[in-house]
Amino acid sequence: MLFRRSTLRLASLCTHVSTQRFASTKTLKETLQEVIPAKQEQLKSLKAKHSQKVIGDVKVENIIGVPALKRLLPAAPGGKEIIAESMLWLLLTGKVPTEAETRQLSRELAEKGDLPTYVEKLIDGLSPSIHPMTQLGIGVAALNHDSEFQKAYESGIKKTEYWTHTLEDCLTLIARLPALAARIYRNIYRQGAEAPAIDKDLDLVGNYTALMGYGANKDLTEYLRLYISIHGDHEGGNASAHTAHLVGSTLADPYLAYSAALFALAGPLHGLANQEVLRWQLAMLKELGGNITLDNIKDYLWKTLKSGQVVPGYGHGVLRKSDPRFIALQEFCDTRPDLLKSATIQLVKKTYQVAPGVLTEHGKTKNPWPNVDAASGCVLYHYGLTEFKYYTVIFGVSRALGALTQLVWARALGLPLERPKSVSMDTLQDMISKGA
């Protein structure tokens, strides 16, 4: 489907954005008001003139843009890593934000970031034994009580106005996710700990770590800035982003659409992968003890495969080379001496040296290269965030950037209700036998 959120669109943005920045006082909404009419006309022209044309194959090398993003997008004051606000601006507008625009968006999100009392009471009333991802989905769904889109739709707004109210909901949801996710963290793992007030001068992730109780951990904050930014966009075929698109195509408000996406993300084959990698790495570390050699890691890999298990963190449904997000996290580790001394991080790096060869020799993996999960949870663990079940919540906070952006554009472009189609195996067999 046209304009589904995808790495293809992100790559296009990386390819075409101007590297020149201009001083600007425009808001994100004002910038979108300038950008959307041109995109609407472009879509109309494409459908009218070229709807039947095949555009050919796309290579992996054409869709990787993480290094360019790290060079172009603004960081937090005093930091080096790109932040969620600059990524969000790029995803929504296709433009690299100025420092002023990024700071303005950070303040806007901080001002919208407090949770309503009814959601605080709802989350506080949940049993700590309920999985944190379940709690996050419940909280996001409940926030639809305040949906501007839902209220406007019921009042009879024009279709051309759908995107503006959707944007308001999306920005409010993104703004409130840190407070919601942090409250879940404290209720489950830090019961009784008081949370600070949202700091209007901090960026989204700076407030998130402070609300969790890690505000003094500057290294973790910088890592999460990078982690959340590069996890924000993803190919449109992944389960969570596609779920948000599918539910959003019914004109459900962004809170309901994204709560559905979170429950898709909670599955072991999707967002839980990073915690599975860490469990496997720690088990290997325990078995090998201090004798971490390439040969010993290779033997452990073969032991895992021969037991009928997969090697977690390796393979990707789309990419056929090392995930650029994995490389970005490796580069982050390479700049920090404490991480280079970490046994867990060293194990990740050495596993990367031998795993592709073992998997290629094994012959049952289409893509023997690492994905981002091969490193992401291990760095969180090193910095003291050791609660495995919570890792997917952080993923959920990050994935909102891309999944919610696609809702704004779907409404701006008037994309239709998605109607999945299926056929039975008997029908497929009949088509095959007839040479269809």
Please indicate whether residue 316 is annotated as part of the active site.
Answer: yes
Closest Cα partner for 258 from 144, 370, 179? 144
Residue with tokens 């409404």: 411
Closest Cα partner for 392 from 228, 272, 216? 272
Annotated active-site residue in 165, 234, 245, 316: 316
Annotated active-site residue in 114, 270, 299, 362: 270
Closest Cα partner for 333 from 314, 350, 346? 346
Please indicate whether residue 131 is annotated as part of the active site.
Answer: no
End-to-end CA distance of the chain: 24
- Per DSSP, the three-state class of 166 is helix
> From residue 356, how far is each of 199, 253, 374, 375 by CA, in Å?
45, 43, 12, 15
DSSP state of 161: G
Please indicate whether residue 16 is annotated as part of the active site.
Answer: no
> From residue 241, how far is each of 34, 183, 262, 392, 432 by CA, in Å?
26, 24, 9, 14, 32
Distance CA 254, CA 143 (A): 10
Yes or no: say if 223 and 383 are a contact pair by the CB < 8 Å rule.
yes
Annotated active-site residue in 169, 233, 253, 373: 373
Yes or no: say if 222 and 390 are a contact pair by the CB < 8 Å rule.
no
Instruction: Supply the residues annotated as catalytic.
Output: 270, 316, 373
